A and B are shown apart, each in its own frame.
Chain A
Amino acid sequence: GQNIDQPTEMTATEGAIVQINCTYQTSGFNGLFWYQQHAGEAPTFLSYNVLDGLEEKGRFSSFLSRSKGYSYLLLKELQMKDSASYLCAVIDSNYQLIWGAGTKLIIKP
């Protein structure tokens, strides 16, 4: 079967750095997305990785290792507004998007 694993919940401190991991086992791979979803709102697109390595976009960076079936989202200089759920999603060989359950990130002052 197809499976995406990410931690259910994480807590971090304002101003700190947090890494949210995502591991996947899918039938094929055509890319991985990270989305942010604030409570009661729709998801917003953060990043896309299809090649190995680190993609940096401001305070957010996303890393991919295809051989390990692993990605992480790195958030630096955390702000209170970063409190949200972070969803990992993988495109399989049929171009179906497989969603993880999301990681709820709680930022404390």
Chain B
Amino acid sequence: GAVVSQHPSWVICKSGTSVKIECRSLDFQATTMFWYRQFPKQSLMLMATSNEGSKATYEQGVEKDKFLINHASLTLSTLTVTSAHPEDSSFYICSARGLGDGNQPQHFGDGTRLSIL
């Protein structure tokens, strides 16, 4: 149980392209989903927290207009990297937390490796 699917796994595209990443909870409902970024050999960095049906909460330093998050249903959240540039190249990982108290574990998708040329 608690499977999270993230798609695509790899994206290679030209600078200026917008990239959309999907995160789905397959066998549970997720009121809260999280988007992380991780650079090589560095820690996970939380970018934003999204709750179903409401606006995402972004961490300090993360541009809302650059990283658009939509959490339209209890099983799907999307992250769109708008006008991506080489410095946006990173490993993006989503996680989902089930219904109930905030002490439920987060379950992670497999991540999306984004390379901007």
Residues of A whose CB lies within 8 Å of any CB of B are: 30-31, 33, 40-45, 48, 50, 87, 91, 95, 97, 99-102
Contact = CB atoms under 8 A, between A and B. Distances in A.
Given A41-B110, A42-B109, A50 B93 contact: no
Contacts of B93: 42-43
22 contacts: A30-B101, A31-B103, A33-B105, A33-B106, A40-B91, A41-B110, A42-B109, A42-B110, A43-B95, A43-B108, A44-B108, A45-B2, A45-B107, A45-B108, A48-B105, A50-B103, A87-B44, A95-B101, A99-B44, A99-B46, A101-B43, A102-B43
A23 to B, nearest CB: 16
A35 B116 CA distance: 29
A87 B108 CA distance: 13
A95 B102 contact: yes
